[in-house]
Amino acid sequence: MGAPKIMLTAEQMRTLPDFFADIPDPRRRQGRRHPLPAVLAIAAGAILCGMRGYKAIAEWANNLTPTARQRFRCRRRGGHYLVPCEYIIRDVLIRVDPAQLDRARQRWNAIYGRDDDSLAIDGKTMCNAIDEHGHQTHVMSVLGHQTKICYTQKKLAPCR
């Protein structure tokens, strides 16, 4: 069984950046070539469509049509809409506040999400994800049985 997939509608593509508009940009002002809401919307859209990993997200973005790139509000230069590269997607996703991302995802789910009859709780220890105190990061998730959608994820206190 593969990753859960949906097909994004034109409206979902157009509105997805709005859900990320209030998240502060963790990048320095210098070098911000792609708007943060566009980068986050592309990453979210790719994940909703079943992509897993930074490379897959970047490849999905590169394959977007010009119309889809416009809907995601990608940066326009020389008459073309540019998508962020794998490095930019990774850098943004690592540095942005996960709690704010989760709130944005919950707002999206409230409008576009599907109902589940039952939920599952799952915990993971993330490889190579070390917090500021040198502890490995642990994440707890709530997933829908029918839709396979992740409704929320929370970083947990270090296990001892």
Residues 6+ apart with CB under 8 A from 133: 158
DSSP letter for 158, please. Answer: P
Determine the Cα–Cα distance for residues 115 and 153; give it in Å rounded to an integer: 18
Q: Give the pLDDT confidence score for residue 2 in this predicted structure.
A: 44
Determine the Cα–Cα distance for residues 105 and 19; give it in Å rounded to an integer: 8
pLDDT of residue 152 exceeding 80: no
String of DSSP letters for 57-119: HHHHHHT--HHHHHHTT-EEETTEEEPPPHHHHHHHHHHS-HHHHHHHHHHHHHHH----S-E
Structure tokens at 83: 């998508």
Alpha-carbon distances, residue 129 vs 46, 77, 100, 139 (angstroms): 22, 35, 19, 11
Helix (H) or strand (E) run with residue 126 in it: strand 119-130
For 14-38, write each residue's pLDDT tens digit: 889 999 999 998 888 887 889 999 9
Domain boundaries along the sequence of the chain: 10-112, 119-156
Calculate mean pLDDT across residues 110-135. 74
Q: Among all chains, which residue has been given the structure tokens 């959608």?
A: 149
Q: Give the pLDDT confidence score for residue 131 in this predicted structure.
A: 72
Cβ atoms of 46 and 56 within 8 Å: the answer is yes
Global pTM reads 0.70
